[in-house]
Amino acid sequence: MIPYGKQTIEEDDIAAVVEVLKGDWLTCGPAVERFEQALANYCGAKHAIAVANGTAALHVAMLAAGIKAGDRVLTSANTFLASANCAEFVGATADFADIDPRTYNVTTETLEAAWKPDVKAVIPVDFAGQPCDMPAIAGLARSRGAAIIEDASHAIGSQFQHDGRWYKVGSHPWADMTTFSFHPVKTITTGEGGAILTNDDRLAERCRLFRSHGMVRGETTDCRPQTADHKLQDEALGLSSCSLLDERGPWFYEMHEVGFNYRITDIQCALGLAQLNKLDRFIQRRAEIVAQYNAAFADLSFVFCPHLPALHPSSFTLHSSLIAWHLYVLQIDFAILGKPRAQVITELRELGVGTQVHYIPVHLQPYYRERQACTDSKCPNAEKYYAKCLSLPLYPAMTAGEIQIIIESVRAVVKCPKEKM
Ligand SMILES: *Cc1c(COP(=O)(O)O)cnc(C)c1O
């Protein structure tokens, strides 16, 4: 059975993990900092903060941005649950914007249509690896005072062009923070893992704070009004004096915010470092497979292949070779085909081909339906897209033989009676 996604682990990945296991640090050690530095360098960002998983990265980003009860956070209807749930984690309300029917991403138009006065953050999701139109989205969000957290769980390594220059996901100036996931089906993996990237020193500091219990060590903190005298600092915060804490020294730690244990281990980061070295090769291989699929399915009349970014409006031109494809999603008109999706999935499985559905529109989940009285037509494009989507296997370790099996199986199962195999 060929799965829809799978990690690619090679000998040097294994050796890197074994080396950490033989060393002194399993967590909070040098591999974490090395991974963060390598990640920041790869993306061209000033800071990378590695955390336990991509969901934790989104939660930490919400906390760092100061999102709280009474705030509303707009994300894509076409995403994994975590892009919305992170708003609920901090007591805010997750709300949903529709997608563009070609890119499957939110746009300024869909965000604007969903906008309410209490929106304090937007979380655009770079679906399947294709970056959102971040310059335009940032223009809208910033003019309305909302923070921008780009959920780039699918898009590590993707780039886009704006005004004749290329920008990388993770470092361009149109997101305050960008999050990644290193779950095994994502482009590179640490087993479980995630990261927040930012160019902003204060946000980076706050991410580190919330990653580890809201705790700072040493005599002063970078996250609060500072004076040389901690008593004056306490006074500035309106705290009554506490003489037992007058004694300061190397052991000292202090907590100003409720944080979490969202740390990642050195074991995971060693794997991440080894994987990061292969990222460009992985992206290249994924792009080749996408091109092969697109060519193989172009003539199927019920099938719509992933949107080719060259068709973007000229104000936002992308080059397809610079999309780090995470998913390959076909849109299939199951109604005209005369076979329900479940049957197509079963027939493909019988031929050894695993598939997946990305995603059930999040606003249709019972939790959100109950709270927001979301109806079937809140995000019609995401709903229409969902009715037709099917993700085919896509990962670098796929062999030429496996790709051939997938292509032949799809052509056999999803063909109109007149079409040839
Ligand atoms: C995978 C994913 C996440 C969550 O990442 P985890 O590492 O699984 O916690 C969040 N958003 C999107 C779009 C994802 O695909």
pLDDT digits (tens, 9 = 90+) for 97-122: 999 999 999 999 999 999 999 999 99
Instruction: Please name the residue whose Cα sits nearest to atom 7 of ligand 1.
Output: 54
Q: How far is the CA of 305 from the centre of ligand 1 (A)?
A: 24
C-alpha 320/C-alpha 363 separation (Å) is: 30
In a domain, 320, yes or no: yes
**Run of H or E residues at 160:** strand 159-162
Sorting pLDDT into bands at 50, 70 and 90, what band is 312?
A: very low
- What is the reported pLDDT for 256? 86
Residue 302 or residue 120, greater confidence: 120
In a domain, 4, yes or no: no
In a domain, 109, yes or no: yes
- What is the reported pLDDT for 233? 77
Residues 100 and 38 in one domain: yes
Q: How far is the CA of 218 from the centre of ligand 1 (A)?
A: 34
C-alpha 387/C-alpha 383 separation (Å) is: 6
Lowest mean pLDDT among 90-104, 173-187, 222-236, 290-304: 222-236
Q: What is the CATH number of the domain that holds 99?
A: 3.40.640.10
Nearest to 94 by CA among 154, 171, 175, 151: 151
- At position 157, the amino acid (one-letter code) is G
C-alpha 400/C-alpha 402 separation (Å) is: 5
Residues 220 and 210 in one domain: no
195 lines ligand 1 (CB under 6 A): no
Ligand 1 pocket mutation, candidates 55, 169, 325, criterion most atoms within 8 A of CB: 55
Residues 285 and 251 in one domain: no
Three state DSSP letters for 332-363: ECHHHHCCCHHHHHHHHHHCCECCECCCCCHH
Q: How far is the CA of 231 from the centre of ligand 1 (A)?
A: 43
Bridge partners, residue 159, by sequence: 168
DSSP code of residue 419:
S
Instruction: Please name the residue whose Cα sits nearest to atom 5 of ligand 1.
Output: 54
- What is the reported pLDDT for 418? 61
- What is the reported pLDDT for 223? 42
Instruction: Please name the residue whose Cα sits nearest to atom 15 of ligand 1.
Output: 153
- What is the reported pLDDT for 226? 47
180 lines ligand 1 (CB under 6 A): no
Instruction: Please name the residue whose Cα sits nearest to atom 10 of ligand 1.
Output: 82
- What is the reported pLDDT for 300? 87
Sorting pLDDT into bands at 50, 70 and 90, what band is 308?
A: low
Nearest to 8 by CA among 410, 347, 329, 289: 289
361 near 416, Cβ under 8 Å? no
153 lines ligand 1 (CB under 6 A): yes
Residues 202 and 247 in one domain: no
Residues 150 and 298 in one domain: no
Is the model's pLDDT at 413 over the cut of 50? yes
Q: How far is the CA of 419 from the centre of ligand 1 (A)?
A: 38
Is the model's pLDDT at 26 over the cut of 90? yes
In a domain, 6, yes or no: no
Q: How far is the CA of 139 from the centre of ligand 1 (A)?
A: 26
Q: Of all atoms in ligand 1, which is nearest to the CA of residue 182?
A: 7
Residues 290 and 365 in one domain: yes
C-alpha 402/C-alpha 390 separation (Å) is: 18
Is the model's pLDDT at 354 over the cut of 50? yes
Lowest mean pLDDT among 33-47, 196-210, 295-309: 295-309
- What is the reported pLDDT for 331? 95
Lowest mean pLDDT among 39-53, 78-92, 318-332: 318-332
Q: How far is the CA of 298 from the centre of ligand 1 (A)?
A: 30
79 lines ligand 1 (CB under 6 A): yes
In a domain, 244, yes or no: yes
Ligand 1 pocket mutation, candidates 59, 76, 79, 80, criterion most atoms within 8 A of CB: 80
Sorting pLDDT into bands at 50, 70 and 90, what band is 322?
A: confident
114 lines ligand 1 (CB under 6 A): no
80 lines ligand 1 (CB under 6 A): yes
In a domain, 3, yes or no: no
Residues 308 and 250 in one domain: no
325 near 290, Cβ under 8 Å? yes
Sorting pLDDT into bands at 50, 70 and 90, what band is 375?
A: low
Domain that holds residue 195: 11-214+260-276
Helical ranges in 103-215 per DSSP H: 108-114, 134-143, 201-211
Residues 389 and 320 in one domain: yes
Sequence-ordered list of residues with C-beta below 8 angstroms from that of 375, at least 6 positions apart, any chain:
none
- At position 119, the amino acid (one-letter code) is V
Residues 200 and 240 in one domain: no
The rounded mean pLDDT for the chain is 91
Which range has the top average pLDDT, 237-241, 253-257, 331-335?
Answer: 331-335
- What is the reported pLDDT for 248? 81
Give helix 266-276 / helix 11-22 axis angle, nearest 10°: 150
181 lines ligand 1 (CB under 6 A): yes
Q: Of all atoms in ligand 1, which is nearest to the CA of residue 154?
A: 15
Is the model's pLDDT at 84 over the cut of 70? yes
- What is the reported pLDDT for 416? 66
Q: How, if at all, do strands 72-76 and 47-51 pair?
A: unpaired
Q: How many structural domains comprise the chain?
A: 3
C-alpha 291/C-alpha 12 separation (Å) is: 29
C-alpha 38/C-alpha 408 separation (Å) is: 40
Q: Using alpha carbons only, what angle is made at residue 400 by residues 397 and 401, rounded to the nearest 5 degrees?
A: 110
21 near 234, Cβ under 8 Å? no
